[in-house]
Amino acid sequence: MTPPILFIVIPCYNEQEALPITAKRLTELTDDMVARGLIDPSSRVVLVDDGSRDATWDVISRLHAADARFEGVKLAHNVGHMNALWAGMTLSSGRCDCVISIDADLQDDVNAMYGFLDEFGKGADVVYGVRSSRRRDTWFKRTTAQGFYKIMRKLGADLVYNHADYRLLSARALEALLSFGEVNMFLRGMVPLLGFKTAEVYYERGERVAGESKYPLKKMIAFAMEGITSLSNKPIRYVLLLGALCALLGVVMAIYVLVSLVRGHTVQGWASLMMSIWLLGGLQLMALGLIGEYVGKIYMETKRRPKFILEEHLKS
Ligand code: UDP
Ligand code: MG
């Protein structure tokens, strides 16, 4: 078997400090992989400049001029991590046998790529890089991130625990992923929807090589909200459930109110007021939940996701 053509896609936002170090590491890595016959010499590293405001693009241009294996993609403005990754993957699709996505800061151990390629060679279409521990993250990042995975699971989104966006996709998995039509993207939740044969490779996550995190708390919360609302209709279900619960409580209240009324423990108007508050409140919540169900359906429709993903087709 000839070695696969590998494309490594890296979103870069204001990464002028980290990029030179990252590029050097990747040069060594891909040299070694080619020497060992693990990847084809025409493999590429695709650097996507996500509308950086620093000298990132200059660094990328220089890298490209010096070494043809570095490709540069410049986005006209900042579109965020996910979309930048999507751009890089779109431009790689059809030109490679597999693509690996990794952050520019090399917090994810590049040596795990050997494991990725190994699993790919054994037939996996999707290989997840999974952090074996979060020891080196700050306490805050660790707890919030883990809480996030737990909530996501509860809400029905199938996420791989402690997997970020460090993963390998085969050409056909990539093509399938790119056929998803949604604009609000949460890649981590979309990849498991693909199916195909998957594998996991564990690695230690380190510190950023240089520069600072581009994910402050505000972006993290937005990211979590995006994840929940783009994958799951469950929050709407909870409203419906709450409405049903309120209506049920309303019935209990109604009985209580009627009993009080008959016993004459009430002031004028109290009974009717109480009944309307509980029953109407419950009904309103239920109605909202019901409308929400339809809005949720419309929402899923507008994503225009593929109805099936082809794995194989035997024909002659
Ligand atoms: N990134 C991007 N666009 C953005 C924000 C981040 O392309 O708007 C890239 C960034 O350059 C890095 C990756 O996304 O390669 C992850 O960002 P970062 O390392 O800052 O996140 P953290 O590891 O702190 O969660
Ligand atoms: Mg990082």
Asked if the model's pLDDT at residue 12 lies above 80, the reply is yes
**Cβ neighbours of residue 282 closer than 8 Å, sequence gap 6 or more:** 243, 244, 245, 246, 247, 248, 249, 250
Give me the pLDDT at residue 144, please. Answer: 81
Ligand in closest contact with the CA of 212: 1
- 137 band by pLDDT with thresholds 50, 70 and 90: confident
Residue 247 alpha carbon to ligand 2 centre in Å = 48
Give me the pLDDT at residue 18, please. Answer: 92
Is the CB–ligand 1 distance for residue 214 below 6 Å?
Answer: yes
Give me the pLDDT at residue 297, please. Answer: 85
Over the stretch 75-118, which tens digit does the pLDDT of each residue have?
999 998 999 999 999 999 999 999 999 999 988 999 999 999 99
> How far is Cα 66 from Cα 61, in angstroms, rounded to an integer?
9
The pTM assigned to this predicted structure is: 0.81
Mutation test of ligand 1: which of 54, 81, 136 has the most ligand atoms closer than 8 Å to its C-beta? 81
**Cβ neighbours of residue 14 closer than 8 Å, sequence gap 6 or more:** 52, 53, 54, 56, 211, 214
For residue 12, give the ligand 1 atom closest to its CA: 11
> How far is Cα 7 from Cα 60, in angstroms, rounded to an integer?
16
Q: What angle do CA 62, 88, 302 make, to 5 degrees?
A: 155
- What value does the mean pLDDT take over residues 118-134? 91
> How far is Cα 215 from Cα 292, in angstroms, rounded to an integer?
31
Sign of the torsion angle spanned by Cα atoms 148, 154, 159, 163: positive
For residue 85, give the ligand 1 atom closest to its CA: 7
Q: Which residue has the tokens 């230690």?
A: 204
**In terms of DSSP bridges, do strands 6-12 and 98-101 run parallel, antiparallel, or are they unpaired?**
parallel
Over the stretch 262-309, which tens digit does the pLDDT of each residue have?
888 778 888 888 888 888 888 888 888 889 888 888 888 888 888 777
Domain 6-218+309-314 sits in CATH at 3.90.550.10
Residue 218 alpha carbon to ligand 2 centre in Å = 15
Is the CB–ligand 1 distance for residue 49 below 6 Å?
Answer: no
Amino acid at 291: I
Give the number of other CB atoms < 10 A from CB of residue 254.
Answer: 15
Over the stretch 213-234, which tens digit does the pLDDT of each residue have?
777 778 878 888 888 887 777 8
Is the CB–ligand 1 distance for residue 119 below 6 Å?
Answer: no
- 40 and 117 in contact (C-beta within 8 Å)? no
Amino acid at 264: G
Starting from the edge strand earliest in sequence, which strands make up the sheet with 44-49, in order? 70-74, 44-49, 6-12, 98-101, 163-170, 126-131, 198-203
3-state secondary structure (DSSP) of residue 232:
coil
